[in-house]
Amino acid sequence: MTNSIPGYTAGTAAIARSPISLDAFARMQQSVLFGDDDIRALRQSHDVVKDQIDAILDVWYGFVGSQPHLLASFTHQDTGEPIGLYLAGVRRRFGQWILDTARADYDQAWLDYQHEIGLRHHRAKKNRTDGAPSTALVPFRDLFLLVVPVTTTLKPFLAARGHDAAEVDAMHAAWVKSCLLQVTLWSHPYVKDGDF
């Protein structure tokens, strides 16, 4: 499936090694209280979300599309009009990101791809994957703050398969922690050298 997603290059030679080591990432997990229970909860969520990807993305895209300052990152640099092909390409990779997050296989290949995702939001590599004539940067303030709408709107989907409230809460908490970890990793290109 992932081979058919243009620009999805996780685990390939096209991805540079993350400047964040697995040991440093383990310390980040400790900082956000992310442990084995969270891994189990994320993996439990995989079967919950895998058949709801399009519906989840409809909600997330609906939110971004309703906020002109967020939609701006997907618009033409000259006209300010949304770029449909760019939005569609990102959506396919975003769907795979949901599955990758829920699989919780947080190894070196995954860590390397998180760095690539950060570069693709930053002026270092934004627009290259899709050849889009879009804006040069996803502002970091928008990237980081989207953790709240993404994880808040995900909770009803986590509850949609009949799990008890404690299981839903555990899956949701694990998603919040994982998203915070990932967006922190994505921040690396935005941070001054030596300050990460």
Written as tens digits, the pLDDT of the chain (196 aa) is 556 899 999 999 999 999 999 999 999 999 999 999 999 999 999 999 999 999 999 999 999 999 999 999 999 999 999 999 999 999 999 999 999 999 999 999 999 999 999 999 999 999 999 999 999 999 999 999 999 999 999 999 999 999 999 999 999 999 999 999 999 999 999 999 999 9
The Cα 90–Cα 128 span in angstroms is 12
Asked, for residue 7, whether it belongs to a domain, the answer is no
The number of domains in the chain is 1
Asked, for residue 180, whether it belongs to a domain, the answer is yes
Asked, for residue 162, whether it belongs to a domain, the answer is yes
Q: Which domain holds residue 83?
A: 19-190
Q: Can you give the pLDDT at residue 34?
A: 98
Q: Can you give the pLDDT at residue 125?
A: 97
Asked, for residue 165, whether it belongs to a domain, the answer is yes
Asked, for residue 12, whether it belongs to a domain, the answer is no
Q: Can you give the pLDDT at residue 2?
A: 58
